[in-house]
């Protein structure tokens, strides 16, 4: 992948470093860029313990801007989960919907941990949020 990108670009350098750092899955998450696009990543996260999402494994996409890490990523869920809409950019303080709250020191790892942390919170009407019942979320986690 290195030959396809300008390795002098701060975004490319940063993303290659993050890909290396995230190359081994943890028990909570895994993320890597597409083989042919360093600016699109796919991730899986495990639902937080002691929540309606426990035991679920959820898949999503992270779309990074060319000026990452100065601008935030967009996050799109692909797995139904009862908290976030699928196939829609979601609104979180760490997403492209809130560039004013994004910090360049944050990373894809930070975003993944935040996503896991946001799962059991109340949606509060945010774009892309859902408010399914606990029973519906538990059923989706089993699927």
Residues assigned a catalytic role:
91
- Alpha-carbon gap, residue 90 to 77, rounded angstroms: 8
- Alpha-carbon gap, residue 42 to 37, rounded angstroms: 11
Q: Which of 60, 121, 66, 65 is nearest to 97 (CA)?
A: 65
């Amino acid at each position: 992948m290195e030959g396809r990108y300008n390795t002098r670009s701060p975004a490319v350098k940063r993303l290659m470093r993050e890909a290396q750092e995230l190359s081994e899955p943890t028990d909570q998450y895994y993320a890597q860029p597409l083989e042919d696009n360093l600016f699109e990543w796919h991730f899986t996260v495990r639902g937080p313990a002691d929540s309606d999402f426990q035991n679920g494994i959820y898949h999503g996409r992270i779309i990074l801007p060319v000026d990452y890490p100065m601008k935030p990523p967009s996050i799109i869920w692909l797995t139904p989960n009862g908290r976030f809409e699928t196939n829609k950019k979601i609104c979180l303080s760490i997403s492209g919907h809130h560039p004013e709250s994004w910090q360049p020191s944050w990373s894809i790892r930070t975003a993944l941990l935040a996503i896991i942390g946001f799962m059991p919170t109340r949606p509060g009407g945010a774009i892309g949020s859902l408010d399914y019942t606990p029973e519906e979320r538990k059923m989706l986690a089993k699927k």
